[in-house]
């Protein structure tokens, strides 16, 4: 162990880490990055196959973003949005985002943006908006939010409650009251024998409707979903899923919160994941690629009708009492704005759609390898699920830790990928990846999978 490793084990408490294993193994210390590659302190190069944590969309070492940050820091290092104060970066970023988003579902009036610092706090904001909006509208009983098992929405008390993975609840005394979980739309795992994707989607929509009816439609306010589940196992919903789910939501006046934290800004080859997956969101959560992770920033997109419903009551009730010191931080906002301008100048969404086709073809080809039970994804997002017996879809034992072992074999070969729940390997490279680099990535992964077999 070198000096930095020693210091790390001594002083750093690592999130989402097996704390005992970390003390035994020590950290992988990454020092620098350029494009889709990063280098560790020993000088070894890796393909960043998960774009950091699904976030470095524009790739590493982008000078234009460094310049945008430095320029803004020199001009105005901090500015606030509380109590009607404002600044140019937050205003121009909001205007830019409004042009990027699909029209609001009612089609009239603009989106407004409530900024935060992370996907988790943005989803907490979503919970509070649902409560505030219904309380001031005199419907104080309509506040429950339905999420899905395996959905991932963050780790704060509220957003971890939305997250549908037991490890984020157990021992944290979560979820909080008023958050319910419905079926995970994982056809490969949860469809009955011979059940088509459509029939599976119909069954899940009926289950959702049953849950709403049992709870009482006047108590259920919102449903939250990622267009494609990320951290919960890279799960692509079955054909017709959102169409059927939305019909249920509309029948019971339940809003759809679209968590675009991973799928936003081109990841699926469309500006937002909802457009690729047939969702018509009422509100949206944005983070990660919004600034390509050069600085932390997130946003909740609020439709005009929701703002209107809160506007008059706020006059009587006093300030809309929510927001963070760093909501719309000018440096983060300036970087996010420049990031989106670079997306436009470089036609990055079209690039992601084009290279994404090659990516998906290489991913699908891995399905031929032993122990690969399912491959799935869209655009430049993909996952593969390892199984002991492909025809019976029989799982490995949890203690086999197969996804972790494959990720370690990939790491040896110079590729960073992520092992997820359910023996799934996730791949989500920077959007700037080229076709040749997609080949390099999948050659490494294929070699790791062959070594595992
Ligand atoms: N929502 C989704 C879909 C995510 O994937 C994540 C993080 O991976 C979050 C929310 C939480 O974001 P953060 O880690 O920035 O709090």
Q: How confident is the model at residue 114 (pLDDT cuts 50, 70, 90)?
A: very high
Q: Any idea what the Cα angle at residue 368 is, between residues 363 and 369, rounded to 5°?
A: 95
**Which atom of ligand 1 is nearest the CA belonging to 54?**
8
Predicted local confidence at residue 173, as pLDDT: 98
Mutate to test the pocket of ligand 1, among 124, 147, 153, 326 (most ligand atoms within 8 A of CB): 153
- Residue ranges covered by each domain of the chain: 3-61+347-452, 68-345
Give the list of residues 6+ apart from residue 250 with CB closer than 8 angstroms, or none: none
For the ranges 43-52, 73-82, 199-208, 306-315, which has the lowest average pLDDT? Answer: 306-315
68-345: same fold as 3-61+347-452? no
3-61+347-452: CATH, from 1.10.1380.10, 3.20.20.70, 2.160.10.10, 3.90.1150.10: 3.90.1150.10
pLDDT mean over 23-27:
96
Taking the centre of ligand 1 as the mean of its atom positions, its distance from the CA of residue 185, in whole angstroms, is: 19
pLDDT mean over 25-39:
97
Mutate to test the pocket of ligand 1, among 262, 277, 284, 420 (most ligand atoms within 8 A of CB): 262
SS3 sequence of the chain: CCHHHHHHHHHCCCCCCCHHHHHHHCCCCEEEEEECEEEECCCCEEEECCHHHHCCCCCECCHHHHHHHHHHHHHCCCCCCHHHCCCHHHHHHHHHHHHHCCCCCCCCCCCEEEEECCHHHHHHHHHHHHHHHHHHCCCCCCCEEEEECCCCCCCCHHHHHHCCCHHHCCCCCCCCCCEEEECCCCHHHHCCCCCCHHHHHHHHHHHHHHHHHHHCHHHEEEEEECCCECCCCCECCCCCHHHHHHHHHHHCCCEEEEECCCCCCCCCCCCCHHHHHCCCCCEEEECHHHCCCCCCCEEEEECHHHHHHHHHHHHHHCCCCCCCCCCCCHHHHHHHHHHHHHHHHCCHHHHHHHHHHHHHHHHHHHHHCCCEEEEEEECCEEEEEECCECCCCECCCHHHCHHHHHHHHHHHCCEECEEECCCEEEECCCCCCCHHHHHHHHHHHHHHHHHHC
Q: What is the pLDDT of residues 304-337, one digit of tens each?
A: 999 999 999 988 888 899 999 999 999 999 999 9
Taking CA atoms only, the protein residue closest to ligand 1 atom 12 is 119
Predicted local confidence at residue 105, as pLDDT: 87
User: Is residue 1 over pLDDT 60?
Assistant: no
Taking the centre of ligand 1 as the mean of its atom positions, its distance from the CA of residue 194, in whole angstroms, is: 34
**Which atom of ligand 1 is nearest the CA belonging to 120?**
16
Distance CA 279, CA 237 (A): 11
68-345: CATH, from 3.50.50.60, 2.30.30.760, 3.40.50.150, 3.40.640.10: 3.40.640.10
**Which atom of ligand 1 is nearest the CA belonging to 55?**
8
Q: How confident is the model at residue 109 (pLDDT cuts 50, 70, 90)?
A: confident
**Which atom of ligand 1 is nearest the CA belonging to 231?**
5
Taking the centre of ligand 1 as the mean of its atom positions, its distance from the CA of residue 105, in whole angstroms, is: 24
Q: How confident is the model at residue 106 (pLDDT cuts 50, 70, 90)?
A: confident
**Which atom of ligand 1 is nearest the CA belonging to 151?**
3
User: Is residue 380 over pLDDT 80?
Assistant: yes
What share of the chain in percent tops pLDDT 70?
100
Q: What is the pLDDT of residues 360-378, one digit of tens each?
A: 999 999 999 999 999 999 9
Taking CA atoms only, the protein residue closest to ligand 1 atom 10 is 153
Taking the centre of ligand 1 as the mean of its atom positions, its distance from the CA of residue 170, in whole angstroms, is: 19
Taking the centre of ligand 1 as the mean of its atom positions, its distance from the CA of residue 159, in whole angstroms, is: 9
Taking the centre of ligand 1 as the mean of its atom positions, its distance from the CA of residue 287, in whole angstroms, is: 8
SS3 sequence of 349-379: HHHHHHHHHHHHHHHHHHHHCCCEEEEEEEC
Taking the centre of ligand 1 as the mean of its atom positions, its distance from the CA of residue 153, in whole angstroms, is: 5
Chain-centroid distance of CA 167 in Å reads 18
Taking the centre of ligand 1 as the mean of its atom positions, its distance from the CA of residue 233, in whole angstroms, is: 14
Q: What is the pLDDT of residues 2-21, one digit of tens each?
A: 999 999 999 999 999 999 99
Taking the centre of ligand 1 as the mean of its atom positions, its distance from the CA of residue 195, in whole angstroms, is: 32
**Which atom of ligand 1 is nearest the CA belonging to 230?**
5
Taking the centre of ligand 1 as the mean of its atom positions, its distance from the CA of residue 179, in whole angstroms, is: 18
Distance CA 76, CA 331 (A): 8
Residues with CB under 6 A from ligand 1: 53-54, 118-120, 123, 152-154, 226, 230-231, 259, 261-262, 287
Mutate to test the pocket of ligand 1, among 272, 281, 288, 326 (most ligand atoms within 8 A of CB): 288
User: Is residue 220 over pLDDT 70?
Assistant: yes
pTM: 0.98
Q: What is the pLDDT of residues 388-433, one digit of tens each?
A: 999 889 999 989 999 999 999 999 999 999 999 889 999 999 999 9
In this predicted complex, what is the ipTM?
Answer: 1.00
Predicted local confidence at residue 422, as pLDDT: 80
Query: pLDDT averaged over the chain?
Result: 97
Taking CA atoms only, the protein residue closest to ligand 1 atom 13 is 119
Q: Convert 281-307 to b/e letters by CB count within 10 Å (16 or more is b).
A: bbbbbbbbbbbbbbbbbbbbbbbbebb
């Amino acid at each position: 162990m070198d000096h930095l490793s020693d210091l790390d084990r001594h002083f750093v408490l690592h999130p989402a880490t097996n704390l005992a294993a970390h003390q035994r193994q020590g950290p992988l210390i990454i020092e620098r990055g350029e494009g889709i590659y990063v280098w560790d302190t020993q000088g070894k190069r890796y393909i960043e196959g998960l774009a950091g944590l699904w976030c470095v969309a524009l790739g590493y070492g982008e000078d234009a973003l460094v310049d945008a940050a430095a320029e803004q820091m020199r001009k105005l290092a901090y500015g606030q949005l509380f109590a009607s104060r404002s600044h140019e970066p937050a205003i121009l970023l909001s205007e830019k985002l409004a042009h990027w988003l699909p029209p609001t579902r009612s089609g009239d009036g603009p989106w407004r943006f409530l900024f935060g610092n992370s996907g988790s706090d943005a989803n907490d904001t979503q919970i509070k908006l649902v409560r505030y909006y219904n309380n001031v509208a005199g419907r104080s009983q309509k506040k429950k939010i339905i999420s899905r098992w395996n959905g991932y929405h963050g780790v704060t008390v509220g957003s971890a409650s939305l997250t549908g993975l037991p490890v984020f609840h157990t021992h944290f005394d979560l979820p909080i009251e008023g958050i319910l979980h419905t079926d995970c739309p994982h056809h490969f795992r949860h469809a009955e024998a011979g059940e088509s994707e459509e029939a599976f989607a119909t069954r899940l929509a009926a289950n959702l409707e049953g849950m709403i009816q049992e709870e009482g439609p006047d108590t259920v306010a919102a449903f939250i979903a990622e267009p494609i589940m990320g951290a919960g196992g890279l799960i692509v919903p079955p054909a017709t899923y959102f169409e059927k789910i939305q019909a249920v939501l509309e029948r019971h006046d339940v809003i759809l919160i679209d968590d675009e934290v991973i799928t936003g800004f081109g990841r699926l080859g469309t500006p937002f994941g909802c457009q690729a997956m047939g969702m018509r969101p009422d509100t949206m959560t944005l983070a990660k690629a919004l600034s390509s992770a050069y600085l932390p920033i997130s946003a909740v997109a609020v439709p005009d009708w929701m703002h209107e419903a809160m506007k008059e009551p706020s006059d009587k009730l006093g300030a809309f009492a929510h927001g963070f010191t760093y909501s719309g931080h000018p440096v983060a906002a300036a970087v996010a704005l420049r990031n989106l301008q670079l997306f436009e100048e470089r036609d990055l969404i079209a690039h992601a759609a084009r290279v994404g086709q090659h990516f998906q073809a290489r991913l699908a080809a891995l399905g031929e390898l032993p122990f690969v039970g399912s491959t799935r994804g869209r655009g430049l997002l993909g996952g593969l699920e390892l199984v002991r017996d492909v025809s019976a879809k029989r799982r490995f034992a949890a203690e086999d830790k197969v996804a972790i072992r494959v990720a370690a074999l990939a790491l040896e070969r110079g590729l960073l990928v992520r092992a997820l729940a359910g023996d799934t390997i996730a791949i989500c490279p920077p959007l700037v990846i080229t076709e040749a680099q997609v080949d390099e990535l999948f050659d490494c992964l294929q070699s790791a999978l062959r070594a595992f077999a």
